[in-house]
Amino acid sequence: MSGTVILFLALYYVVVLGIGYWAMRHGGSEDLEGYLLGGRQVGPMATALTLQSTSMSGYMFLGAGGLGYTQGYWAMWFAAGDIGGGVLNLSTIGRRMRKLSQMFGALTSIEYLENRYPSPAVRVFAGVLTVFLLGFYVLAQLIAGGKGMALVTGLPYPVALAIAVGIILIYTFMGGYLAVAYTDFFQSLVMLVGVLWIAAAALIELGGLTAANTAIAEFDPTLLSIWGKDLGFEGQWGVALGAVLIFSVGLLGWPHVVTRHMAMSKPATARKAGMWATAWNLLFVPTPYLVGILAVLILPELQDPEMAIFEIAGLLLPPAVTGLVMAAIMAAIMSTADSLLLQTGSIASRDLYERFINPKASERQMVMVSRGLVLAIAVIGYVVALYEPPTVFAIVIFATSVLGSAFLPAYFCAVWWKKANTAGALSSMIVGAGVAFAWEVAGMVETTQMAPMTAGVASSITTMVVVSLLTQKISPVPAHILVVMDEAAVVGPIPKTLIAASDAALSPEAAAIDAKLNGGDGND
Amino acid sequence: MTDPQQIVVIRGAINATDALCVVASLTGDVEATVESEMIYPYYCLDADCSVPTMVGRKQLSMICLVDAVNGLGATADSFELKKETVPNDILLTSDIDAAEAEKIAHRTVTHRLGKKLRTISTFDVRVTPRGLIHKRFWIVKTSDARVMVDSTTGSLHPLKLRAA
């Protein structure tokens, strides 16, 4: 690979490391709220792009391209879900979760769940499950980073992997969430430019989209179908629905994505962020799948379909642009890896270590523990990634299916349904995760024609509703939570200085006094 | 003006001037004023608990306050009480009866001990009601919001968020 490509990559790495250093110097690591949530000061554009780039992992440049290459236009079911995921997330739970999480004083998405559904069991189950699954997800990203780096530089895989992991680790370690959010912002712009450039080059090579589709029809007409190669998924609406759900609705259940809501500068940021997310998605999301589809014509004998986009870039683009595109590919991988790494470290430190092992840890100690766990997870991930890995696509789909199935009802109902109680939430998490896991492991997709995500989400929603309604008397939602939910529903800011100092435990008294002052008897 | 009532109030360390200082220093609002006060009812109960340890059972005592309006229980530090006569229009009325408060207190103390001791054991908890007591909250008005200030701890919480 040419020196120009490597130069561009090196330049990209210098920029992200610079952002990490800037974040560290600008409050990204002063206290725990600064390290884990960027001091809750992230604006709408950065919120939108960190949310999108976090959910758009190396999968978009490996798995999506590979899926387009092997299954043709069937892959666009996944794109359909992806396009709406961010705006759906921000518009349905963004604003309320932002307010609710601050009133609870929650610093992680798992702590937020325990605050809303009070029980140590919620924290234990959610924390352990999330660390376990995000660990797999991190692994997938590190593998993608190592593969990409090896392809670009020609270095042996272990060395390339070490460089990729090392860069991600350094800026995440230094600057925490602020570094992650702003590098994601930069990386999402690089991703967008890069993928659009590859797509343009591929379309020019093939004489345009119409000419390309005509050529695909001659090569293998089933690739133009929405049912996949050889019409393998014909009539399987359950699988198609699962493909749409996983990246749209499923995002509502991903702890590393919903954390973005908690870090927004104010609740009103959600609306603007939704607009930015939509704009970016419309341009970015369908493109890698399309490039994969077009690659069938340009590289018909590709050994590893997941390398389709990499190979197209190397083949069609001049070295300078290839360097930018390679940076874009690495950006997609790193923008997810850093978020996952930080989330896994945060949850392990705040939700497991501080909550159950050392509740008296100081802020300074907690920042150090969080950093230490980020380092440990990166090192373990590196060691595991050195061994023969399965495909990135399979790992990501598995982890995200189980996460979405487990947590979607819990996060959604936390802000929208006052009857969602601890028993309902815990049961739905266990059932959702269990069903999605069993569905995948037992190979139920073929027999039922239903994706694990579809089955998992249906099960967890049903469980949440049934168990919550049946257990209202024995597991009532605490009064202070109902009050805080009402406050979170109100559209409007709270004076910043008061929020910083206000005691959420006084919410029930505040509501009663407010009612009395407004002419009630205080007992509404 | 409605008829005054004689009640038992927790003796608070924070007076009206202190409350005003707390809010003014936070908001920087020099126009802030103490608008009024509100008297909030709680059921006060003593809880005596027998908890298992490695070397037998240990006796613990604690105070439990049950919010007489919302039915929320919490353990509390010890405090002094005094009798006061207050007008009815600043006094919130309780919505929970004493029997219900006892059940809530029992549940609260059991849950608190379970969380603190991190065991799944049964505790022997006896709850003795002391009666209805009250706490004073100062209501401070700023240009942005109204804030209530706890007269015992100085903690505060905004009111009327819609108007903020």
Of B115, B137, B164, the CB nearest to A495: B164
Regarding whether A497 and A427 lie in a shared domain, the answer is no
Dihedral sign for Cα A174, A178, A182, A184, please.
Answer: positive
CB-CB neighbours of A121 under 10 Å: 13
Q: Give kind and range of the element (H or E) at residue A299.
A: none
Confidence of residue A468 (pLDDT cuts 50, 70, 90): very high
Q: Span B32-55, mean pLDDT? A: 86
Q: How does pLDDT run across A316-332, given as a tens digit for each residue?
A: 888 777 777 777 777 87
Instruction: Tell me which residue range forms the domain holding A522.
Output: 488-524
Residues of A in contact with B40 (CB under 8 A): 509, 512-513
pLDDT of residue B136: 95
**Are residues A497 and B157, on separate chains, in Cβ contact within 8 Å?**
no
Regarding whether A497 and A426 lie in a shared domain, the answer is no
**Are residues A480 and B70, on separate chains, in Cβ contact within 8 Å?**
yes
Report DSSP letters for A385-422, one per residue: HTS----HHHHHHHHHHHHHHHHHHHHHHHHH-TT--H
pLDDT of residue A74: 92
* Residue A272 lies inside a defined structural domain of this protein: no
pLDDT of residue B45: 94
Q: How far is B57 from chain A (nearest CA, A)?
A: 24
Q: Give kind and range of the element (H or E) at residue A449.
A: none
Higher-pLDDT residue of A147, A455: A455
Regarding whether A522 and A463 lie in a shared domain, the answer is no
Written as six digits, the tokens of A467 are 């168990």
Regarding whether A506 and A441 lie in a shared domain, the answer is no
The ipTM, to two decimals, is 0.88
Higher-pLDDT residue of A130, A336: A130
Higher-pLDDT residue of B52, B143: B143
The residues spanned by each domain of chain B are 4-159
Regarding whether A496 and A473 lie in a shared domain, the answer is no
Strand (E) positions, B14-113? 33-53, 56-67, 73-76, 81-87
Written as six digits, the tokens of B51 are 């908890």
Cα–Cα nearest to B109, from B149, B75, B69: B75
* Residue A448 lies inside a defined structural domain of this protein: yes
Regarding whether A233 and A298 lie in a shared domain, the answer is yes
**Are residues A512 and B70, on separate chains, in Cβ contact within 8 Å?**
yes
Residues of B in contact with A513 (CB under 8 A): 38, 40, 92, 137, 139, 148, 159
pLDDT of residue B163: 34
**Are residues B93 and A522, on separate chains, in Cβ contact within 8 Å?**
yes
Q: How does pLDDT run across A22-33, given as a tens digit for each residue?
A: 887 776 655 667
Of B38, B70, B147, the CB nearest to A479: B70
Of B26, B72, B92, the CB nearest to A480: B72
What is chain B's length? 164
Q: Span A469-476, mean pLDDT? A: 90
Q: How far is A473 from chain B (nearest CA, A)?
A: 13
pLDDT of residue A241: 77
pLDDT of residue B164: 31
Q: How does pLDDT run across A211-247, given as a tens digit for each residue?
A: 999 999 999 999 999 898 898 888 878 777 777 777 7
Instruction: Report whether pLDDT(B118) > 60.
Output: no
Q: Does B98 touch chain A (CB under 8 A)?
A: no
Q: How does pLDDT run across A397-436, given as a tens digit for each residue?
A: 788 889 989 999 999 999 999 999 999 999 999 999 999 9
What percent of chain A has pLDDT above 90?
Answer: 21
* Residue A265 lies inside a defined structural domain of this protein: no
Confidence of residue B1 (pLDDT cuts 50, 70, 90): very low
In chain A, how many domains are there? 2
Q: How far is B50 from chain A (nearest CA, A)?
A: 23
Regarding whether A470 and A338 lie in a shared domain, the answer is yes
Q: How far is A355 from chain B (nearest CA, A)?
A: 11
pLDDT of residue A524: 41
Supply the CATH number for residue A93's domain: 1.20.1730.10
**What average pLDDT is seen over chain A?**
83
Of B27, B95, B158, the CB nearest to A523: B95
Helix/strand/coil for A69 = helix
Confidence of residue A7 (pLDDT cuts 50, 70, 90): confident
Regarding whether A479 and A509 lie in a shared domain, the answer is no
Q: How does pLDDT run across A351-381, given as a tens digit for each residue?
A: 888 878 877 777 677 778 888 888 888 888 8
**Are residues A506 and B159, on separate chains, in Cβ contact within 8 Å?**
no
Residues of B in contact with A492 (CB under 8 A): 161-162, 164
Q: How far is B61 from chain A (nearest CA, A)?
A: 23
